[in-house]
Amino acid sequence: MPTAQYDTLKKSFVQGGLPEDLVTAVLDEYGSNKRRYFLNDYRPAAVDAGRFCEAVTRVIQFLGKDPHVPLTAEIKVDSALNKIENDMTLEEGLRLHVPRAIRLVYGVRNKRDTGHLKGGIDPSLQDATLVVSTLDWVLAELVRIAHGVTADGAQDLITGIVTKEVPLVAVYNGRPVLLTDLKHLDHILVVLYWASSGSVTRGQLALQNWGCRRGRRRERHGVSRSR
């Protein structure tokens, strides 16, 4: 997770009233699982999301009527989820849908019989993909319900979480850094995809060394003529 996105999410949650230690635990575990996934480490022990689920469960406890289990104490997730599902003070997404998502993650990663793979096929990639996609949804749901920013700001945060990521790009100080061996056109396409609904000028592409040469080109794909 880019540092800027991490900081923005953390600030939003804390402003929304969530304890900083729980927010840090959620975001750290989220980023850790996503990082290992993009490094192609799909092993159940690598992308298991267990501690992420525990941290999220504590967050929901905090938002509900029951005291949350602190990070320093062991939490029995299944028992906690049962209580959460019966807590009518919670918003429906937190009371029903997030607990089901957590149980899905636990079931896929902890109950897969790795000793008896069907036809010798390793399900690690498909399982890890399901896990990280579910983490995206859960984190976005937390933003939707527990954010401390404007509605437009929360929508931008959610879009940043659930939009398909481009592993070809690393972001430093808000600036994308691409693989050096990409072809010229691929550089442009990757940057435009990374910018999503935002705008990128031809001057930005050239001046910030994102792989676009200066030239007299017609405006395309959201690249403006401004320099």
On whether both 112 and 141 belong to a single domain, the answer is yes
On whether both 67 and 122 belong to a single domain, the answer is yes
Q: How confident is the model at residue 125 (pLDDT cuts 50, 70, 90)?
A: confident
142 and 26 Cβ atoms separated by less than 8 Å: yes
Question: CA 208, CA 203: separation in Å to the nearest integer?
Answer: 8
| Helices H / strands E in the chain, number of each | 10, 4
Q: What is the largest CA-CA distance in the chain?
A: 64
Look at residue 64 and give its three-state secondary structure.
coil
Question: CA 164, CA 108: separation in Å to the nearest integer?
Answer: 22
On whether both 112 and 209 belong to a single domain, the answer is no
Domain boundary, last residue among 162, 195, 215: 162
223-224/200-201 β-pairing: parallel
| Model confidence at 37: pLDDT above 60 | yes
Summarised one tens digit per residue, pLDDT across range 127-166 is 889 999 999 999 999 999 988 778 888 888 888 777 666 5
Mean pLDDT of 53-63: 95
On whether both 59 and 112 belong to a single domain, the answer is yes
On whether both 44 and 152 belong to a single domain, the answer is yes
Element (H, E) at 136: helix 124-146
pTM of the model: 0.74
Average pLDDT of the residues of the chain: 79
Which residue segment(s) compose the domain that 218 sits in?
A: 169-224
